[in-house]
Chain A
Amino acid sequence: MANEPIIRIRDLSVSYHVARTGNRLTAVRDIDLDVMEGEFLTVLGPSGCGKTTVLNCVAGLVTPTTGTIVADGRPVTGPGPDRAVVFQDYALLPWRSVADNVRFGLEMQPRLKESAAERVREAIELVGLTGFEHAYPRELSGGMQQRAGLARALVADPRILLMDEPLGAVDALTREVMRNELERIIEATGKTVVFITHSIDEAIQLGDRIAVFSSHPGRIRELVPVEAGRSHDELRRHLWELLESDARLAARGATE
């Protein structure tokens, strides 16, 4: 791992104006976070803790109210080819086939025009969708749609992969398979990954480090390294202690 962080977040706060109530809602406050090159950071937290907001800020989709984000050496002012996002709801274009959806990941980058066909083929092969190039998203299972979403994110070879609960919408069995698949694919590409999840097991299995969020307002509770020496059960217990009170509140339907 290099010493210079590839993502550097400083004093990040995001607040929204809520039209209905006329109040300002603070989604996240005072986030400081460094992600190293090649690192797999999992982000764990209860619903509504603002983890997606942080991810969207890094992606350039949400403008921070205060604070700065530097990604790949440049301050983030909007989306860029160095960062790609895998969405929870896949966000595939339903009128495009798998191959055309994957191509969407690079067609706005003229410099990749010549290598496009080859890149699309490789990305589809990497995620295990060879043979389904001409299928439409709605003909595919959730797991396969997310493979297409992953191929689209990888096709232009970004340095940073932002994944917003990518397995949140697939069924439990597919989830197990996809978790291992993700591990294999990310290992093969060596990408830096920020991966949001609700699942403690997923966070432990995939992450080099786990950022545990707490809610109201969203902030980082603790950064937990996943060390080889620590047992899975012990880590699990520790994470649950950090999350328990927030999770119980969220389950009771606390206000956002």
Chain B
Amino acid sequence: MTPRPAGSPEAAPAPALRPPPAAGPPRRKGESRWRRHRAPLIALVDLVVFLLLWHLATEVLGLVNRVFFPSPGDVVQALAGLAASGELATHLSTSAANWAVGYGLGSVAGIVTGLVTGTSRWANRLVMPLLWSLWATPLIALQPTLTAWLDYGDGPIIVLVFLSTMIPVALNTATGATQTGESLLRAGRVFGASRLRLYLKIRLPWAVPYIIGGLRLAVPTSMIGLLVGEMVGSPSGIGSVIVNATSRFRTGEAFAAIAVYVLLSVVLVRVLDLAERRTGAWRSGA
């Protein structure tokens, strides 16, 4: 987790997930194709080498006890088992529903909070210190209290996802809203925009790249919130699979659940990257 939200939308995307910039001068065809696919190819080779080494260490050389440290084959097998029994679908749908509700509500709350804090000096002084303190708080610390308030089940999980989404989104949106061009606001007033319209037509679209940066940052943090909530006293969800499987020495299943979880995070971040490139067309001039 980065200690602070990415301030500028240009800085937000991790370089590894971006394709290399298109080559400027024309090159030979083969060379340009290699350039375009270089980054994903390297990532793929990276992954394959990692899996091979893992396989080698666990199955071929037997360096570790496979009860505690499964091989890639064990994980795939466990995953297939979970999928076949229908367990995977059940747990995944519970997790997805809780995450979607928390992330959705957290996003809306974060955007509204960010827009208001970024534009009103009083709101800024009152809310910003609170947001930064919450951002610095390990949310796992809140989990026992939340459970005491809301009982076991979906309640504390949704609240954890909500908080871990809202805070980075609000902080990033506030950064963007603070920097709204003064002359754009003046133009808005000249052409008859009311206070509300200034928010809707100028501040909100201006902040969109920052909002997406915040939403992107909120994917891993909200997933951590989800997992923390599910790993303690939840009967279902991907997190509960990890805990239950580990306690029964079915580490393959635990690893399979972790893999599913990682895959989901990566896919969600990719989706937001695409959204960012779409909506940010006016920035790059593409």
Contact = CB atoms under 8 A, between A and B. Distances in A.
Interface of A: 59-61, 78-81, 83-85, 87, 89, 91, 93-96, 104-109, 136-139, 152, 156
B190 A85 contact: yes
B40 interface: no
Nearest to A78: B189
A107 B191 CA distance: 8
B184 A79 contact: no
A136 B283 CA distance: 9
B191 A105 contact: yes
Contacts of B186: 61, 85, 87, 91
9 contacts: A61-B190, A84-B191, A85-B186, A87-B186, A91-B184, A91-B186, A94-B283, A104-B201, A156-B191
Contacts of A78: 189
B190 A79 contact: yes
A79 B189 contact: yes
Contacts of B19: none
Interface in B157-202: 181, 183-184, 186-187, 189-194, 197, 201-202
A79 B283 contact: no
A93 B281 contact: no
Interface residues of B, number: 22
Nearest to A106: B191
A89 B183 contact: yes
Q: Name the 9 nearest CB pairs between A and B, nearest first.
A: A108-B192, A91-B187, A91-B183, A95-B282, A85-B190, A138-B285, A94-B282, A136-B282, A79-B190
User: Chain A interface mostly helix, strand, loop or mixed?
Assistant: loop
Nearest to A162: B190
Contacts of B197: 108
A84 B282 contact: no
Contacts of B283: 94, 138
A107 B208 CA distance: 21
Contacts of A136: 281-282, 285
A93 B184 contact: yes
Chain A CB count within 10 A is highest, among B189, B192, B208, B279, for B192
User: Chain B interface mostly helix, strand, loop or mixed?
Assistant: helix
Nearest to B285: A138
Contacts of A156: 191
A138 B191 contact: no
Interface string B200-242: 0110011010000000000000000000000000000000000
A93 B205 contact: yes
Nearest to A156: B191
Given A91-B181, A93-B202, A136-B282, A108 B193 contact: yes
Nearest to A84: B190
A232 to B, nearest CB: 34
A228 to B, nearest CB: 34
Given A136-B282, A136-B285, 5 more contacts: A61-B190, A84-B190, A85-B187, A93-B187, A93-B202
Nearest to A90: B183
A61 B208 contact: no
B233 to A, nearest CB: 46
A78 B283 CA distance: 32
B192 A139 contact: no
A91 B193 CA distance: 15
Nearest to A97: B282
B183 to A, nearest CB: 4
Contacts of A81: 192
A87 B190 CA distance: 11
A215 to B, nearest CB: 23
B284 to A, nearest CB: 9
Contacts of B181: 91
Contacts of A91: 181, 183-184, 186-187
Nearest to A139: B285
Contacts of B184: 91, 93
A80 B282 CA distance: 29
Contact of A138 (B187, B279, B282): B282
Contacts of A84: 190-191
Chain A CB count within 10 A is highest, among B184, B194, B283, for B184
A95 B211 CA distance: 15
B192 A95 contact: no
A83 B279 CA distance: 33
A156 B192 CA distance: 11
A136 B279 CA distance: 13
A85 B194 CA distance: 17
B189 A152 contact: no
Chain B CB count within 10 A is highest, among A108, A109, A139, for A108
Contacts of B189: 60-61, 78-79
